[in-house]
Amino acid sequence: METDALIIGAGPAGLFQAFQLGLQGIASHLVDALPHVGGQCAQLYGHKPIYDIPGIPVCTGAELVQLLERQIAPMQVPRHLSQQVESLQQRDDGRWLAQTTAGTLFAARSVFMAAGVGAFVPKALKVPGVDGLLPEQLHYHPLQLDMASGHTVLVYGGDEEAVNAAIACASSCDGPQSSGGSGAAKTYLMHRRDAFQAEPQQLARLRQLRDSGAIEVVIGQITEVRHAAGRLGAVQWMDGEGREHLLSIDMLLVFLGISPRLGPISDWGLSIERKQLVVDPATQATSAAGIYAVGDIVTYPGKKKLILCAFHEATMAAFAAAEYLQGEKPLLQYTTTSAKLHGFLGVA
Ligand code: FAD
């Protein structure tokens, strides 16, 4: 995919970067490891209030993401979600070649690192035997559960996503409230304690499905995965007293949480100090021509890890990139009065 600008990270910095590039007439693509945009605001504190966004006395993390989405809508930026950019190399013609874990390949004239504290990726299950599983037998934080249909499924985890997945797997075999279920043949939910984190309504539904036998809750931890001839047969698990048991299943859905990983970014030859990209705050340029960085991933004298600082940085980066890509310093124009900017914004 050829593009003028590739934005790595769709947190608040990446989203506003897309907007500022749009105001410069520069088309961009957004990539994120998460299945949704919003970065930390969506993933870590979606329901909590933020009080220091200029002009918005209070909004939740999720509301801020919605507002940013509305603001960048006129720019029509393609999103490539659930994929991590894993390599970045410069081509002979100066373009940057970026490849994602989903195999998407970009050739970008400029790159904007808006990677925050790293790519949010699911925590892996680390027990013997897990590496031998086929992709269709082991799923981390799946969003769609249709593939569970007809299978004997173990949902492993105790948070809201795990509870919702178990409910979705089990619902279709549970009578009138069954709509939207995936129709697993049998659903187990395993967690180390008999305490689950979810909204009261979901916990009530879980209780109902446990009582009806549609979900069997197992209190323990997986210690080994057993498979033979490429077929998942069972997990070995340990109860609170240290006793080992076997549970026959043919599909494993793992929800052990999501954590940030800087990952490959540190291997891309960019100047880094204490896991942050060193930039010139006047342009947000990194040590490589055509690569800019904004938001929590950057360091410069006086840097503050705040959303409003990321918005300022995205503006500086867009002006610098416009000069780099278009060959002349862009004029400063106001969205209030500029007919050119009104064109980009799709307003009369
Ligand atoms: P992030 O929000 O971290 O987004 C980065 C995105 O990049 C992530 O979605 C990640 O998956 C993606 N990514 C990284 N690497 C890759 C890769 N290689 N490939 C694909 N995707 C990748 N700030 C305030 O200003 N006010 C507040 O009140 C406030 N409250 C906070 C409360 C909490 C609990 C926390 C944790 C933070 C708070 N912050 C607050 C800080 C604020 O959330 C961050 O400053 C902001 O999210 C940084 O935005 P970002 O876009 O730079 O990074």
Nearest CA to ligand 1 atom 34: 45
User: What's the pLDDT at 157?
Assistant: 97
Residue nearest to atom 28 of ligand 1 (CA): 50
Q: For 163-174, how does the pLDDT look when each residue is reduced to its tens digit (9 = 90+)?
A: 999 999 998 644
- Tens digit of each residue's pLDDT (9 = 90 or more) over 273-308: 999 999 999 999 999 999 999 999 999 999 999 999
Which among 182, 180, 327 has a CA at the least distance from the CA of 253?
Answer: 182
- Neighbour-count burial for 265-278, b at 16+ CB within 10 Å, e otherwise: beebebebeeebbb
Task: Indicate which residue's Cα is closest to atom 32 of ligand 1.
Answer: 45
Q: Could you tell me if the CB of 115 is within 6 A of ligand 1?
A: yes
Q: Which atom of ligand 1 is found nearest the CA of 40?
A: 2
CA of 279 to the centre of ligand 1 (A): 18
- Going by alpha carbons, the residue nearest to atom 46 of ligand 1 is 307
45 belongs to an annotated ligand binding site:
yes
Residue 181 Cβ < 6 Å to ligand 1: no
Q: Which residues contact 285 (CB under 8 A, 6 or more apart)?
A: 279, 291, 292, 317, 320
Kindly state the average pLDDT of the residues 205-228. 95
**CB neighbours of 318 closer than 8 A, spacing ≥ 6?**
17, 20, 21, 23, 24, 26
Note whether ipTM > 0.90 here: yes
Ligand 1 pocket, 293 CB below 6 A? no
- List the domains of the chain with CATH numbers: 2-121+259-345 (3.50.50.60), 124-256 (3.50.50.60)
pLDDT digits (tens, 9 = 90+) for 149-159: 999 999 999 99
pLDDT tens digit sequence for 87-135:
999 999 999 999 999 999 999 999 999 999 999 888 999 999 998 888 8
Residue 337 annotated as part of some ligand binding site: yes
Protein residue closest via CA to atom 48 of ligand 1: 296
Q: Is 184 near ligand 1, meaning CB less than 6 Å away?
A: no
